[in-house]
Amino acid sequence: MKNLQPKEAWDWLQSHTNSLFVDVRMEIESLYVGRPPNVVNVPWYEYPDLQPDAQKFAEAVLREGSGKDQPVLLICRSGQRTRDAGKALEAAGFTDVQHVVHGFEGELDEAFRRSTISGWRFDGLPWEQM
């Protein structure tokens, strides 16, 4: 799995137009906190269970895309869930997996806030909110 900083991920998306961009956050996070444009939501885990199922996740990603050889870029809130989700995809046979380091909202600052020191939004990349 390749680690891409948010701006690198944006550039990568522009040059890999056949890729699948997957937001692994819970649907409610993606809708209300915001998300990059043209991202597909496939939660790594979902409420109320909050427990990942690696096989179900890989199957859902496969249904959204065109095969295990299609390049996949993963994003979550802070870059933590995407590491586990990416490992699950690779274990399932996906051959070209990337993830966004620091995710959509980035790391916590000293006041426990996000989007102030790193992340997709912090870097001023395109996003939308419901």
Distance from CA of residue 66 to its chain's centroid?
A: 18
Q: Which long-range contacts (CB under 8 A, 24 or more apart) does 62-69 make?
A: 62/92, 64/20, 64/22, 64/40, 65/20, 66/18, 66/20, 68/92, 68/93, 68/94, 68/95, 69/95, 69/96
Model pLDDT, residue 42: 98
Instruction: Give the pTM.
Output: 0.96
Per residue in 31-47, pLDDT (tens digit) is 999 999 999 999 999 98
Which residue is listed with tokens 């990416």? 86
What count of other Cβ atoms lies within 10 Å of the Cβ of residue 78?
19
Could you give the angle at which helices 54-64 and 81-91 cross, rounded to 10 degrees? 80
Model pLDDT, residue 47: 86
Assigned CATH topology for domain 2-100: Oxidized Rhodanese; domain 1 (3.40.250)
Model pLDDT, residue 25: 97
Residue ranges per structural domain of the chain:
2-100
